[in-house]
Homo-oligomer: A and B are copies of this chain.
Amino acid sequence: MPTRRRLLVLLFALSVIDLAAAQPSTDPLQSWNDGAVKKSITDFVSRVTTEGAPDFVPVAERIATFDNDGTLWSEQPAYFQAAFAIDRVKAMAPQHPEWKKQQPFKALLDGDMKALAASGQRGMLQIVAAAHSGMTTDEFSKSVVEWISTARHPRFGRPYTQLVYQPMLELLAYLRANGFKTFVVSGGGVEFMRPWMEKVYGIPPEQVIGSSGVVKFEMGADGKPALRKTSKIEFVDDNQGKPVGINRFIGRRPIFAFGNSDGDLQMLQWTAAGKGARFMGIVHHTDAEREYAYDRQSKVGKLDKALNEGTAKGWTVVDMKQDWKTVFP
């Protein structure tokens, strides 16, 4: 065989080997173990994206909504936004002596995470609203970017944005590759989430829906307008608030929704009640070793009614321990 030809054969052989080696990574959901859960996802996507098939859904209507805390990133030992609020409220505490006697501020300043968790999501929204009132939206956004790039999780010692779930990142990308528009619909503060979600999840600010405080437009003496955050809670995007928020911000019903707690139940019910093919998913935290194990008794991310309803109705319930090959990136 002439040298040149041998070289070509060799190159061809190498490229075949390369292809073979690369094969596993062509699975867009490679961090999901094979099984009924993974299959329920790929089957659904195949049904709604196959033109001419009875369940085909046009691209414009492929709306997918995801809860954030406990669904896209961790939420233990307390919602990460609470850690952000702790850092900010501590810094502001000298100007607010009344907080020493007032819950949930007292719990927060005492570092009593258990009492803080007991105050629930609404308690934390109070902290968030109080801690951040008086700032402009631009100032607040900057403080979030600063915090998220420096703060570390108490157990894992990693930045919070590295405690996102690798399988869910793959799911988001997989859905988008199949023409879905992905939204976050979270009980968390919308202005806490927007500054980093585009980079971390590939979800732009205008596709992030969350709880919010009243914001006021004001014209400065210098003729420069500003939007200032007040301490008044405007909207709690949790429980019934989730379908209400979806209606308000998206204006169409999702065909795909993923949550992990009872706060997501109404979003899942609202999704399920639409016509045509629907996908409802729940992340069940069953992995104390790699992440956390909690459900019916948890103060944070309680999963009880939604687990019953999801099981009874055949929704997809992810067993984190069984179904996820990898948890974090």
Q: Which residues of A contact B (CB under 8 A)?
A: 60, 63, 137, 181, 183, 190-191, 194, 198, 204-208, 212, 215-217, 219, 224-225, 227, 240, 243-244, 247-252, 266, 269-270, 273
Report the minimum CB–CB distance from A141 to chain B (whole Å).
Answer: 9
Residue with the highest number of chain B CB atoms closer than 10 Å, among A63, A219, A227:
A227
How far, in whole Å, are A194 and B194 apart by their CA atoms in the complex? 24
Q: Give the number of copies in the complex.
A: 2
The answer to whether A227 and B208 have CB atoms under 8 Å apart is no
Q: Which residues of B contact A227 (CB under 8 A)?
A: 243-244, 247, 270
Given pairs A206-B249, A225-B269, 20 additional interface contacts (CB within 8 A): A60-B198, A60-B204, A63-B206, A137-B247, A181-B206, A190-B248, A205-B252, A206-B250, A206-B252, A208-B251, A212-B248, A215-B244, A215-B247, A215-B248, A217-B244, A217-B266, A217-B270, A225-B243, A225-B266, A227-B243
Residue ID in chain B nearest A229 by CB atoms: B247
Closest to A212 in B: B248
Minimum CB distance partner of A243 in chain B: B217
> In the assembled complex, how far is the CB of residue A133 from the closest CB belonging to chain B, in whole angstroms?
15
Could you tell me if B225 and A273 are in contact, using CB atoms closer than 8 angstroms? yes
Rounded to whole angstroms, the CA-CA distance of A209 and B191 in the bound complex is 18
* CB-contact partner of A194 in B183, B224, B251, B270, under 8 A: B251
In the complex, which residue of chain B has the Cβ closest to the Cβ of A241? B217
Give 9 closest A-B pairs by Cβ, nearest first. A205-B251, A217-B240, A194-B251, A206-B250, A225-B269, A217-B243, A227-B247, A205-B252, A225-B270
Chain B residues lying within 8 Å of A60, measured Cβ to Cβ, are 198, 204
Q: Name 12 interchain pairs, CB-CB below 8 A, sorted by A.
A: A60-B198, A63-B206, A194-B251, A215-B244, A216-B240, A216-B244, A217-B244, A217-B270, A225-B266, A225-B270, A225-B273, A227-B270
Q: For the complex, give the distance between the alpha carbons of A247 and B215 in Å.
A: 9
Query: Chain B residues with Cβ under 8 A from A250's Cβ?
Result: 205-206
Chain B residue, CB-CB nearest to A63: B206
A217 to B240, CA, bound (A): 6
Q: Are B217 and A251 in contact (CB under 8 A)?
A: no
